[in-house]
Amino acid sequence: MSEQQHRHKAGFETRAIHAGYEPDPITGAVIPPIFATSTFKQDGVGGLRGGYEYSRSANPTRTALEGNLAALEEGEAGFAFASGLAAEDTLVRAVCRPGDHVVLPGDAYGGTFRLFDKVEKAWGLAHTAAPVFDTAAVGAAMQPGRTKLVWIETPTNPLLNIADIAALARVAHDAGALLVVDNTFASPYLQQPLTLGADVVVHSTTKYCGGHSDVIGGALVVRDLELAEQIAFHQNSIGAVAGPFDSWLVLRGLKTLAVRMDRHCDNAERVVDFLVGHAKVGDVFYPALSGHPGHQVAAQQMRRFGGIVSFRVKAGEQAAVDVCGRAEVFTLGESLGGVESLIEHPGRMTHASVAGTELEVPGDLVRLSVGIESADDLVADLDRALG
Ligand SMILES: Cc1ncc(COP(=O)(O)O)c(C=O)c1O
């Protein structure tokens, strides 16, 4: 599909399958090869073919993925990295300098918080955590002139809070900062932050984009070409790039993103119906619920409400740990966004690194990544696990 066609907005599913790659002019291969090469023959010194010289700078399999991601997020440029955290670190170094400040989500993914708190802080980058569902509180956390990034997740991990992307973009821009949206939980199928005013989209492509729990990867997508140039420079200078095989896996995953996400959402809705009102379950966190404080905003900015559900177990922390241990169809494990359902205890697993900080999560919380198995089997498994 030509650049022009995807700019003129073919449907999401069409872009997911075609954007970023034209069938190979020589062989007609409809899927990009895995260009397992570190270097490229030059036609005379400096005579690069298609701009390729060395695979850290650019590799054709990665280029296909980067073009596809840009088309799906409706951005101008995409960048693929070795992990979500590598993407985040590269972005920070491209935009921030010692003495700058960033605003982080009050319930950020633990690894993101650790990156800022234990790594970036030591390089002189200050941070303040603010609840992303409270636009005024985020505004109050900003230090005009010093705050370079307002970083949000929506929905957040693991409490499924919802941030108003358009309102926060205005708050960030008024103070001269960029709005960064970690779109990992929603995926580009459910939400496109750049169209709502955000400046940068971050993904852990390890999750829904890859979709099959077989790859670690990350991405940035931006709409401003100057920022794109800065990121391209830092991507090459730091070198935490996605390799060709990993790029190929994520690109393959993206082709089925739309159908997978619809099934994740269908199944999550069934699971939520089961959990709400269950005698042993306390609060259920899922933005489709009309009582969820972010429901209205989520309904406006998301196509559907996603595949992640969290809930509290009334009998407390040990009971929550036991539920995780008893599940069978839900595999006990970290990560999310794959075709298989996963269950975890955030307090002792994904969010153990924020224990004792202002980001600590409730001990009785269980997080589900609802997969695309038969919904009846998922509900029966939770019924058994809850005892
Ligand atoms: C919301 C979110 N952002 C970023 C990351 C980091 O991505 P990666 O594990 O690919 O480095 C994760 C990982 O779980 C995540 O859940």
- For 69-97, how does the pLDDT look when each residue is reduced to its tens digit (9 = 90+)? 999 999 999 999 999 999 999 999 999 99
326 carries an active-site annotation: no
189 carries an active-site annotation: no
Q: Tell me, what's the pLDDT at 6?
A: 56
- Interatomic CA distance for residues 217 and 149, integer angstroms: 22
CA 45 to chain centre: 40
Please indicate whether residue 204, judged by its CB atom, sits closer than 6 Å to ligand 1: yes
214 Cα–ligand 1 center, Å: 14
> Of 359, 286, 366, 259, whose CA–CA distance to 322 is shortest?
366
β-sheet with 365-369: strand ranges across: 281-285, 308-313, 365-369, 342-344, 331-332
2 Cα–ligand 1 center, Å: 31
Is it true that the peptide bond before 32 is cis, omega within 30 degrees of 0?
A: no
Please indicate whether residue 89, judged by its CB atom, sits closer than 6 Å to ligand 1: no
- Interatomic CA distance for residues 158 and 360, integer angstroms: 11
User: What pLDDT digit, counting tens, does each position of 5-64 carry?
Assistant: 555 689 999 999 999 999 999 999 999 999 999 999 999 999 999 999 999 999 999 999
Dihedral (Cα; 74, 78, 80, 86), 10-degree rounding: -100
- Interatomic CA distance for residues 365 and 313, integer angstroms: 7
207 Cα–ligand 1 center, Å: 8
- Interatomic CA distance for residues 104 and 131, integer angstroms: 8
Q: Tell me, what's the pLDDT at 358?
A: 73
> Of 335, 356, 383, 374, whose CA–CA distance to 157 is shortest?
335
204 Cα–ligand 1 center, Å: 5
Quote the radius of gyration of the chain (alpha carbons, Å).
Answer: 21
Q: Identify the active-site residue in 21, 52, 89, 109.
A: 109
Please indicate whether residue 184, judged by its CB atom, sits closer than 6 Å to ligand 1: yes
Please indicate whether residue 112, judged by its CB atom, sits closer than 6 Å to ligand 1: yes
Looking only at the bridges linking them, the beta strands covering 200-204 and 178-182 are: parallel
- Interatomic CA distance for residues 59 and 63, integer angstroms: 6
- Interatomic CA distance for residues 148 and 349, integer angstroms: 31
Domain ranges for the chain, please list them: 3-255, 258-386
One of 3.90.1150.10, 3.40.50.170, 3.40.228.10, 3.20.20.70 is the CATH number of 258-386, namely 3.90.1150.10
Class of domain 3-255: alpha beta
Protein residue whose Cα sits closest to atom 10 of ligand 1: 84
43 carries an active-site annotation: no
Given a cut of 70, the residues of the chain with pLDDT beneath it are 1-8
